[in-house]
């Protein structure tokens, strides 16, 4: 199943800079691994915000929740999820 996920990150203003940088680095590594695995299919930055719009390919909403829960920045995210399905007018045989 494909899911569109919007993630808005809100780190506490009083979080020490070194802790924030360490979290961001760990997040980057986890996100890149999920992309290499094919789970995190697309990752787009929302211009002007600390946010992204992504497409995940997982078996279920439960699996998506488990994947998102593994992200180091998850405790600091506001997440919106939308289930996706193929559009009958799409000219593409493959959604990748």
Class of domain 2-84: alpha beta
Given a contact cutoff of 8 angstroms between Cβ atoms, the answer to whether 26 and 70 are in contact is no
pLDDT tens for 48-86 read 999 999 999 999 999 999 999 999 999 999 999 999 998
Given a contact cutoff of 8 angstroms between Cβ atoms, the answer to whether 90 and 12 are in contact is no
Closest CA to 80 of 27, 3, 12, 10: 3
- Tell me the mean pLDDT in the region 18-36: 98
CA dist., res. 77 & res. 73, Å (int): 6
Domain residue spans of the chain? 2-84
């Amino acid at each position: 199943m494909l899911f569109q996920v919007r993630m808005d990150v809100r780190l506490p203003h009083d979080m020490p800079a070194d802790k924030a940088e360490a979290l961001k680095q760990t997040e980057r590594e986890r996100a890149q691994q999920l992309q290499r695995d094919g789970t995190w299919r697309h990752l787009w930055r929302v211009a002007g915000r600390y946010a992204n719009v992504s497409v995940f390919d997982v078996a279920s909403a439960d699996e998506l929740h488990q994947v998102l829960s593994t992200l180091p920045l998850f405790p600091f995210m506001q997440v919106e999820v939308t289930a996706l399905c193929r559009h009958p007018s799409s000219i593409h045989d493959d959604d990748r």
